[in-house]
């Protein structure tokens, strides 16, 4: 699952027309519509405010709108850039200020697609990976060494608590749960146990 790193904006000038693109991370259609409404208020004097968004873990929900541009010349090329980059949870709004020179259908398609692609390059992309918070429970005498080993490993420590026994939280990718249990068993010599907690996500930058 890919999405943008953060919200951002970029402007492109094409034959005196200004194309101002804004991107945002969203999780629901209501959030996407709220963002679109906000951009339309901000750029209420734009000639067009064209939109596209992709939602759902697998990008199953897609929407686009040409906002008065010739059919298929604005929202669709914007959406195609999002889907070609395999992004989801992302909304794009391009506000166009007409500069007096007609671009033609091909020119519009290129301009709208280009400004969305350039904005994505500017803000960056991340892969959202599902991780499980696994708690390693061990005696205090063992916890210090386990903690050092965890920090030196490929796993991500996420906190610790010390009560009757030490509890070390670790973020483990779902597909590596069995391997992590085996790692703990080997590292602790069978003197620690693991307890699985909630599933969450971490963002890994895409270079």
Q: Tell me which of 75, 90, 123 is where a domain ends.
A: 123
Please write the tens of the pLDDT for every residue from 108-161.
Answer: 999 999 999 999 999 999 988 889 999 999 999 999 999 999 999 988 899 999
Residues 17 and 44 in one domain: yes
Q: Tell me which of 123, 157, 179 is where a domain ends.
A: 123
Residue 174 sits in a domain whose CATH number is 3.30.70.240
CA torsion, ordered 63, 66, 71, 75, to nearest 10 deg: -50
Domain span at residue 139 reads 129-205
Residue 87 sits in a domain whose CATH number is 3.30.230.30
Residue 205 has pLDDT above 90, yes or no: no
Please write the tens of the pLDDT for every residue from 80-121.
Answer: 999 999 999 999 999 999 998 999 999 999 999 999 999 999
Q: How many CB atoms lie within 10 A of CB 16?
A: 11
Residue 1 has pLDDT above 90, yes or no: no
Let me know: does 50 contact 93? Beta carbons within 8 Å: yes
Nearest to 52 by CA among 97, 44, 70, 72: 72
> Among the residues of the chain, which ranges form H helices?
29-42, 75-84, 104-123, 140-152, 177-187
> Among the residues of 60-103, which ranges form H helices?
75-84
Residues 14 and 115 in one domain: yes
Residues 6 and 97 in one domain: yes
**What percent of the chain has a predicted confidence (pLDDT) above 90?**
88
Residues 26 and 103 in one domain: yes
* Domain count within the chain: 2
Let me know: does 25 contact 32? Beta carbons within 8 Å: no
Contacts of 107 (CB under 8 A, 6+ apart): 14, 15
Residue 199 has pLDDT above 90, yes or no: no
d(CA 181, CA 178): 5
Residues 26 and 108 in one domain: yes
Please write the tens of the pLDDT for every residue from 45-58.
Answer: 999 999 999 999 88
């Amino acid at each position: 699952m890919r999405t943008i790193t953060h919200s951002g904006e970029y402007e492109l000038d094409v034959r005196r027309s200004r194309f101002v693109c804004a991107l945002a991370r969203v999780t629901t259609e209501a959030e996407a519509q709220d963002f679109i409404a906000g951009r339309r208020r901000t750029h209420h004097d734009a000639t067009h405010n064209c939109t596209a968004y992709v939602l759902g873990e697998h990008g199953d929900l897609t929407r686009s709108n040409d906002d008065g541009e010739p059919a298929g010349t604005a929202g669709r090329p914007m959406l195609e850039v999002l889907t070609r980059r395999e992004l989801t949870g992302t909304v794009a709004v391009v506000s166009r200020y007409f500069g007096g020179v007609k671009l033609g259908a091909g020119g519009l398609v290129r301009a709208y697609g280009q400004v969305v692609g350039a904005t994505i390059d500017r803000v960056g992309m991340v892969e959202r990976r599902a991780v499980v918070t696994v708690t390693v429970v061990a005696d205090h005498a063992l916890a210090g060494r386990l903690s050092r080993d965890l920090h030196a490993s490929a796993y991500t420590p996420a906190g610790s608590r010390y009560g009757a026994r030490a509890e070390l939280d670790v973020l483990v990718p779902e597909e590596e749960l069995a391997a992590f249990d085996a790692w703990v068993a080997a590292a602790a010599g069978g003197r620690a146990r693991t307890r699985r907690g909630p599933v969450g996500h971490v963002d890994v930058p895409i270079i």
